[in-house]
Structure 1
C-alpha cells in the first residue's frame, strides 16, 4: 500500500511532534504508518490505565484512596487525556522500530 503525499505529510507531522526534527529525515511508508499506529495505540492504552492510579499525596491507604475515587472515576469516564509519561516511554520504546520501518522502501 502506497501512501499519498498528503498522508506522508500528515504522518511526518505526527512523528516530528513526538520525535522532533530528526523525524523529517525518515521515509514515510506503510511500515512507518503501521508502527506509528501501534505506538499511538499503546500510548492510549497506557493513558487509560493511568486514569485508575491515585495521584501522589500522603500515605496511600484506604482513606486516601477513598478521597481519590471521585477524580479517578472522572478521569476514567472521560478517557480524553494523554499522559506525558505514557507518551515519552512508549515513544522511546517504539523509536527504533519506526526508524527501521522508515528505512524499508
Structure 2
C-alpha cells in the first residue's frame, strides 16, 4: 500500500519549535495550496498587510489567533473556528498563542 507511507498527522510538531513560524506545504499545484502553519506568538509586522492573489480558507486546529482587517475590525479565532478570506481582502495576524502553539490549516484557491 503506497498511501500508507504518506500518512502524516497535523499535530506532529518538532520537539523544539524554532523562533520563526513553520510553514509546511501539504498540497501545492496550479489550482490549490494547502499549508500547515505553526505559530508561536508571531504576528504580521506593524504596517504590513497580507493582500493575496487567491481566496483563502483557514481553520484553527489548536490554540488561538487574532486577525485584523484594513477597516479596523478584528476577529478572534480559537480551536475549531474556520474562516473564508476573499482574494485581496487586506488582513494581518495580530496575535497567536504560544501555549499551546497555534496550528492553522490554510487553503488557497
TM-score, normalised relative to structure 2: 0.23
Question: Which of the pair is proportionally richer in helix?
Answer: 1
Bigger RCO of structures 1 and 2 (CA < 8 A, at least 6 apart): 1
Which has the greater radius of gyration? 1
Q: Which has the higher strand share?
A: 2
